[in-house]
A and B are shown apart, each in its own frame.
Chain A
Amino acid sequence: MRGIRVGDRLLHIYTWLVIVWLSSPIAVMILFGFNDKQSKSNTSWQGFTLRWYAELFDISDLTVALRNSLVIALISTVITVVIGTMLGLALGRHRFRGKGVTNFLVFAAISTPELVMGASLLSLFVSGSVPRDANTIIVSHVLFSLSFVVVTVRARVVTLDPSLEEAARDLGATAWGTFRQVTLPSIMPGVLAGAMLSFALSIDDYVVTSFVNGSTVTFPLWIVGAVKTGIPPQVNVMGTLIFGVGVLIAIANAVAARRRN
């Protein structure tokens, strides 16, 4: 009896330690968004203020960088989800020539180091004399997040009963109607998971982006550039807001999942 209690307590302590360890960087980020700092660097606590929330968009370069990142993440996510869902459906459902090669490429894209991908994309763009800008960033982001959408969608597709689609056709639905009313809603959890992954991968990508950005600056690129001169608290605030949106999406997902069951 006693032994079990001690074990229980140890497990509690261990669990809390892990939670604290995982969330401490986030907590520090949020906290220093409220730091009333006077010096150049934002590394020691000097009092509470809401000033940085009020002056959130006062650094115009940073604002542009954040906007670039959001636009790039949004566009690349939409493109990735459309192509990735089609690929995931094909790989999960059909047999075709080149299926093995495609599966291998999907895996290879996940396992390729970002440095390698970034460097080879740059030489590809340079040798094709493609001007580096937001477009090349979008193309590159689609490339490295595509596999994640394919994997999540494919996992969902293989558990899908093929007679569901046959039933829809049998009941008079056209091919497109079947996709819209039956297939897509059934694989939606996989599509959404893939979309969130791809958005998250895009918005904080540094390595690949730094190769192909040309003169376009994104949020992560701006922050790394500012490291030497000191990162302004606005960055913490923006990080906090992005994190907050992520938390809201996670909660909404949990609520929706509970309602489904």
Chain B
Amino acid sequence: MSGTSAIELVDVVKEYLAHGEVVRAVKGVTLDIAEGEFFSLLGPSGCGKTTTMRMIAGFEAPSKGLVKLLGQDVTNVPPNRRDVNMVFQSYALFPHMSVWDNVAFGLKQRKTPQEEIRRRVGEMLEIVDLTGREKRRPREMSGGQQQRVALARALVNRPRALLLDEPLGALDLKLRQAMQIELKRIQREVGITFVYVTHDQNEALTMSDRIAVMNDGLVEQLAGPREIYERPATAFVAGFIGTSNLLAGSAASGVLKVGGGRVLVPGHDGDVSVTVRPEKITICTDEPGAGLSAVRGSVTEVVYLGTYNSYTVSLTDGVEITVFQQNVHDAAATAERGDSVWLSWQAQHSYVIGS
């Protein structure tokens, strides 16, 4: 990250009319995306992430606020005069054109000299590993190949930023994982800012430098993947990213009494909510030492998931806690259904969330 911002959104609001009612799809988003960054907009469907991206591309005009590209206000500039390109969820390849003509489309619009078009399209097809398929029509290609054509068609224009709208959504799991690595490689190779819209938290965590988690038209948290996972800012983020356990109650002198035990929350008093990731929790039968957070309950479900077991433990006060235990030693479960157990974790893994 060089520090210059490629894309800036300043308090952007998008409202539109649907059935006579004003719907606020985006309720005031401010973002500063640095040059060369792999930036993800993550959230459930209807959270405003796609609308936000479409405002960057220029397909939607914000009701309020500013969109800036490289410091220049482009709020009212039409999409064909914005130096960003988009990869569509449906790929949107031109069905009546060959792969070559699809990729050359953008350069032709700019009246690039023939010789340069030939060279750049050739180079780009090489990068996405499609050399030799120039004459094919999009429909004659597999989903993964179409995806790469769409990527090449956007990147060949050397945009200041590439916008990707759930580009891997239509691919099967294996291909999606391969394309994630491929996308990351291409991004490093061309050094262009990527803005990636997805509802898939794994995808976002795997590829991004930074993630903006969106919910209900607002950014809930903006941080790196590790920070978002380990230190979710809100209950929504904790719940949306991975599996998370939520314990709430009233703390007194840094200790929250819940679930037949205690959660250590140093420095907090009064009403608090605490999240703990399932893999940070240890299951044991003896009461843990005083330096750990510890709660009691009985095992209600054990699911074998290959690399780990997932336990559901119902605490004495009825709260359900999920625990992941790695299958390090053997496949035998640490506890069986119906067992009465202690759950413990270190104080630093309790994360007190804001709301």
Q: Is A250 an interface residue (CB 8 A)?
A: no
* A161-218, CB < 8 A from B: 161, 163-164, 166-174, 177, 181-182, 185-186
Query: Of the candidates B85, B88, B95, B110, which one forms a contact with A186 in the assembled complex, judged by CB atoms under 8 Å apart?
Result: B95
CB contacts (< 8 Å) of B96 on chain A: these are 185-186
Whose C-beta in chain A lies nearest to the C-beta of B106?
A171
Complex alpha-carbon distance, A195 and B221, angstroms: 56
Contacts of B308 in A (CB 8 A): none
B80 partner, pick from A163, A164, A170, beta carbons under 8 A:
A170
B92 at the interface (CB under 8 A from A): yes
B48: shortest Cβ distance to chain A, in Å?
18
Question: In the bound complex, do residue B110 and residue A161 qualify as a contact, i.e. CB atoms below 8 Å apart?
Answer: no
Residues of chain B within 8 A of A181, CB atoms compared? 94, 105
Residue pair A171, B78 in contact (C-beta under 8 Å): no
Contact A161 B92 (CB under 8 A): yes
Contact of B59 among A166, A173, A182 (CB under 8 A): A166
Given known contacts A166-B79, A177-B109, A185-B96, A171 and B90 CB-to-CB distance under 8 angstroms: no
- With A167-B86, A168-B105 given, is the CB distance from A173 to B80 under 8 Å? yes
Which of A169, A170, A185: most chain B Cβ within 10 A? A170
Q: What is the interface of chain A mostly: helix, strand, loop, or mixed?
A: helix
B153 at the interface (CB under 8 A from A): yes
B side interface size, CB within 8 A: 25
Q: Are B109 and A182 in contact (CB under 8 A)?
A: no
A172, B90: Cβ atoms under 8 Å?
no
Query: Which of chain B's residues have a CB closer than 8 A to the CB of A186?
Result: 94-96
Restricting to A130-186, which residues have a CB under 8 Å from any CB of B?
161, 163-164, 166-174, 177, 181-182, 185-186
Q: Is A170's CB under 8 angstroms from B86's CB? A: yes
Are A169 and B92 in contact, CB atoms less than 8 angstroms apart?
no
| Cross-chain contact B157 with A166 (CB below 8 angstroms) | no
Confirm or deny: B197 has a beta carbon within 8 angstroms of a beta carbon on chain A. no
Q: Is the CB of A169 within 8 A of B95?
A: no
B57 CB within 8 Å of chain A: yes
Task: Tell whether, in the assembled complex, residue A161 and residue B105 are in contact, meaning their CB atoms are under 8 Å apart.
Answer: no
Closest-CB distance, B209 to chain A (whole angstroms): 24
Residues of B within 8 A of A174 (CB): 80, 109
Interface contact B94-A169, CB-CB below 8 Å: no
What residue in chain B is nearest A172 (Cβ atoms)? B109
Nearest-Cβ distance from residue B135 to partner chain A, whole angstroms: 13
As a 0/1 sequence over residues 218 to 245 of chain A, the CB contacts with chain B under 8 angstroms (1 = contact) are: 0000000000000000000000000000
Count: A-B pairs, CB below 8 Å = 64
**Which parts of B33-62 form the interface with A (CB within 8 Å)?**
57-59
A169 touches B78 (CB 8 A): yes
Q: Is the CB of B92 within 8 A of A167?
A: yes
* B94 nearest in chain A by CB position: A182
Residue of B nearest to A161 (CB): B90
A172-B110, A186-B95 known; A166 and B88 CB under 8 Å? Answer: yes
Is the beta-carbon distance between B88 and A171 smaller than 8 angstroms?
Answer: no
Of all chain B residues, the one with the shortest Cβ separation from A261 is B139
Chain B, residues 238-275, CB within 8 Å of chain A (1/0): the string is 00000000000000000000000000000000000000
Contact A173–B85 (Cβ < 8 Å): no
Q: Which residue of chain B has the shortest Cβ distance to A173 in the bound complex?
A: B109
Considering the complex, give the chain A residue whose CB is closest to the CB of B57.
A170
Of the candidates A163, A172, A173, which one forms a contact with B92 in the assembled complex, judged by CB atoms under 8 Å apart? A163
Interface residues of B in 70-98 (CB under 8 A from A): 78-81, 84-86, 88-90, 92-96
Nearest chain A residue, comparing its CB with the CB of B163: A170
Q: CB distance B92 to A164 under 8 Å?
A: yes
Query: A260: shortest Cβ distance to chain B, in Å?
Result: 8
Q: Which residues does chain A contribute within 8 Å of B81, judged by CB atoms?
A: 172
Q: Which of B172-209 contact A (CB under 8 A)?
A: none
Let me know if A171 and B105 touch, CB within 8 A: yes
Instruction: Compute how far the CA of A180 lies from the CA of B90 in the bound complex, rounded to whole angstroms.
Output: 22
Q: How far is the CB of B82 from chain A (nearest CB, A)?
A: 8
Which of B58, B59, B89, B109 makes the CB contact (< 8 A) with A171? B109
| Chain A residues with CB below 8 A from B109, complex form | 171-174, 177
CB of B79 within 8 A of CB of A169, answer yes
Closest residue to B140 on the A side, CB-wise? A261
CA distance A170 to B92 in the complex (A): 11
Note all chain A residues with C-beta closer than 8 A to B110: 172
Complex CA–CA separation, A197 to B95 (angstroms): 25
Contacts of B92 in A (CB 8 A): 161, 163-164, 166-167
Knowing that A161-B92, A169-B59, A172-B81 touch, tell me 18 more A-B residue pairs with CB under 8 angstroms: A161-B90, A163-B88, A164-B94, A169-B58, A169-B78, A170-B58, A170-B86, A171-B80, A171-B157, A172-B106, A172-B109, A173-B105, A173-B109, A174-B80, A181-B94, A182-B94, A186-B94, A186-B96
